[in-house]
Amino acid sequence: MASSSAKPYCCSSLNPAPSNAIARRAALSALPAAKPRRFSHGLAAVAANPRASRSAVLRPVRACLAAPRRPEYVPDRIDDPNYVRIFDTTLRDGEQSPGATMTSAEKLVVARQLARLGVDIIEAGFPASSPDDLDAVRSIAIEVGNTPVGEDGHVPVICGLSRCNKRDIDAAWEAVRHARKPRIHTFIATSEIHMQHKLRKTPDQVVAIAREMVAYARSLGCPDVEFSPEDAGRSNREFLYHILEEVIKAGATTLNIPDTVGYTLPHEFGKLIADIKANTPGIENAIISTHCQNDLGLASANTLAGAYAGARQLEVTINGIGERAGNASLEEVVMAIKCRRELLGGLHTGINSQHITMTSKMVQEHSGLHVQPHKAIVGANAFAHESGIHQDGMLKFKGTYEIISPDDIGLTRANEFGIVLGKLSGRHAVRTKLVEAWI
């Protein structure tokens, strides 16, 4: 990625001094004076010199500038070349996490929240897996798939997963056809190890099945068909180009490239997307998508590499839940794009990031899968500071140790600076906590 004069945090603007600043000044002035050289900025500077209060107390709000509007949805093209569709598979791949099964009612509640969050596509389930899941996907298609939300009246695409067989595709179509914007997502494995040991089919047979089933899905009246060559990350490149060309001819509108076992490194996955974009005949008639598993902890990095290389749909889950080690995390991918937009070629999404915290907590509650405290963006410690050096920096200027404002993700923390007192805390933090207790 090209170098840039990027800002040291997401965006720069200033917010007004806190409403209780006067009370803090009075409280601070009543405390024993600290050495001037140690408290020459921040709250202590305000106490020492009220005339300097404006410059000392103003804090940067790192909420990024508003991105361009979401373009009108057309299955096989995006009129804004920098717009990236967010495909959320929390209710399908995320639910495949052991112990994460949700009831139909819980899935509907989460789907409503995903729509508020602004995801472009909700993969609501695997309808052929059970009558209950078919009913759940159908309910989501009927309600969420027809209800405008937000200022722009956004209605998400409702998608159902299917294997490449007529029974699965029929079930998926029955479930999603009630949505305003329905999609069938069908897949078949393309790596040698999968074709030989799992499918026990030749490459020619796999191509024929993929071509026939994509055409069948379109013949049912579904205008939006996504095709995934499972285990694309370990598949032969020339074979990938060939099978993707054939499914485009058959009517596929989105080509999803899965790193099914989380095997590739970011530069490898980025090159895979670039190579597919450069070498697949007819690729201009479809959207390239990514689906990265987290087996080596690289799912979000691989997803971003894919976006930078030309993918314009990114498959993610809330909190990164999913099979084995999980998937690319929606909150990580979205906030990385929002924060480093200038280094990603101006990419942007339609996500309302202020719904991230609520959505994360809701998925934790309904799935039973709780995130580790140090989880990026949504972990309990993501905006907390215990080290004295960090606390001192935060109290002087938040941009020293935070690149994202908690407000950006809809998080309200217990105190303005995220200070947590512990054995490594310094005098500046202790002094500030005393002031808070006093007032």
What are 95-136's pLDDT values in tens digits? 998 888 899 999 999 999 999 999 999 999 999 999 999 999
Residue ranges making up the domain that contains 360: 85-367
In a shared domain, residues 294 and 398: no
In a shared domain, residues 299 and 433: no
In a shared domain, residues 273 and 407: no
3-state secondary structure 397-425: CHHHCCCCCHHHHCCCCCCCCCECCCCCC
Q: Which of 434, 438, 432, 400 minimizes the C-alpha distance to 416?
A: 432
In a shared domain, residues 227 and 302: yes
Separation between Cα atoms, residue 413 and residue 146, nearest integer Å: 35
pLDDT higher than threshold 80 for residue 283: yes
pLDDT in tens, 132-150: 999 999 999 999 999 999 9
Tokens 């089919």 sit at which residue? 201
In a shared domain, residues 96 and 135: yes
Which pLDDT value is given to residue 66? Answer: 60
Write down which residue in 307, 334, 367 finishes a domain: 367
Q: Which of 192, 180, 286 minimizes the C-alpha distance to 233?
A: 192
pLDDT in tens, 394-414: 788 888 889 999 999 999 887
In a shared domain, residues 430 and 310: no
pLDDT in tens, 286-300: 999 999 999 999 999
In a shared domain, residues 362 and 217: yes
In a shared domain, residues 428 and 354: no
CATH number, domain of 265, equals 3.20.20.70
Write down which residue in 321, 336, 367 finishes a domain: 367
In a shared domain, residues 399 and 361: no
What are the CB-based long-range contacts (under 8 Å, 24+) for 375-383?
375/319, 375/320, 376/329, 376/331, 376/332, 377/329, 377/331, 377/332, 377/335, 377/404, 377/409, 378/319, 378/331, 378/409, 383/411, 383/413, 383/418
Q: For 270-284, what is the mean pLDDT?
A: 98
Write down which residue in 307, 338, 367 finishes a domain: 367
User: Comparing 243 with 8, which gets the higher pLDDT?
Assistant: 243
Which pLDDT value is given to residue 389? Answer: 72
What are the CB-based long-range contacts (under 8 Å, 24+) for 363-366?
363/90, 363/94, 363/110, 363/318, 363/319, 363/321, 364/319, 366/102, 366/106, 366/109, 366/110
Q: Which of 252, 116, 119 minimizes the C-alpha distance to 187?
A: 252
Q: In this structure, what is the dihedral angle of CA atoms 395, 399, 400, 402, given to the nearest 10 degrees?
A: 100
Q: 21-30 and 427-438 helices cross at what angle (nearest 10)? A: 110
pLDDT in tens, 13-25: 334 334 343 344 4
- 5 in helix, strand or coil? coil
In a shared domain, residues 251 and 290: yes
In a shared domain, residues 408 and 272: no
> Helices marked H in 131-184 — which ranges?
131-143, 166-176
Residues 6+ apart with CB under 8 A from 56: 41, 42, 43, 45, 46, 49
Q: Which amino acid is at 137?
A: V
Determine contact, residues 234/196, Cβ cutoff 8 Å. Answer: no
Confirm whether 129 is domain-assigned.
Answer: yes
In a shared domain, residues 413 and 358: no
- 27 in helix, strand or coil? helix
Buried/exposed 165-193: b ≥16 CB within 10 Å, e otherwise: eeebbbbbbbbbbbbebbbbbbbbbbbee
Confirm whether 134 is domain-assigned.
Answer: yes
Number of domains in the chain: 2
